[in-house]
A and B are shown apart, each in its own frame.
Chain A
Amino acid sequence: MPIAAADETRSLPTTYLICAAAWALPGAGHLWLGRRQKGLIFLIALPLMFACGLWLEGRLFPFELTQPLVALAAFADVGVGVPYFVAAATGRGGGRAVAATFEYGNAFLIVAGLLNMLVVLDAFDVAQGRK
């Protein structure tokens, strides 16, 4: 049986707070909204995907506005939230361009961030009672 649409609509400030939590910690928004199964899946899968990207020697791209594609990749990287800042603070994500897995690592890092952005949008819809 499908999960019924949310029977209560959160106020807009609360919704934005939920979205901020969902961005900072993947799955936190869904856990907040009582979608425990989905929240746990996101909480495990997205940081793990991001960690795989680091393990595959991917690079956390810098915000270089003179290079639009690099800036876009950096924006996508940040999408995963706290794991990005932890990795950056601990000096990971330097990337090794000669590694065979370098491009795979980049793909893992970027897609983990982009998927978390979709998760944030989903949390927004649930909070607004649309799903």
Chain B
Amino acid sequence: MSSHLAAMVVFAVFVSVVFAALMRDEPREQLRFGLRLFGGLVAGGILAGWLLYPLPF
């Protein structure tokens, strides 16, 4: 897994799964919360990457 994006996506999957199980009780709610969290983590990571891209260091 040498792709930074793949590593970030796998990381987001694990974090989303655990937080969804921790914070919601019903499976349907867990799925919805987990998907939203996963989307937020991946989108936030990509957005942060692009915002940092112009920096010279």
Binding site for B on A (CB under 8 A): 1-3, 37-38, 41-42, 45-46, 48-49, 52, 55-56, 100-101, 104, 107-108, 111-112, 115, 118-119, 122
Contacts and interface: CB of A to CB of B under 8 A. Distances in A.
Contacts, number: 52
Given A108-B14, A118-B22, 19 more contacts: A2-B26, A3-B25, A3-B26, A37-B21, A37-B27, A42-B18, A45-B17, A45-B21, A48-B14, A52-B14, A100-B2, A101-B1, A101-B2, A104-B4, A104-B11, A111-B14, A111-B15, A115-B14, A118-B18
B7 interface: yes
Interface in B1-41: 1-2, 4, 7-8, 10-11, 14-15, 17-19, 21-22, 25-27
Interface of B: 1-2, 4, 7-8, 10-11, 14-15, 17-19, 21-22, 25-27
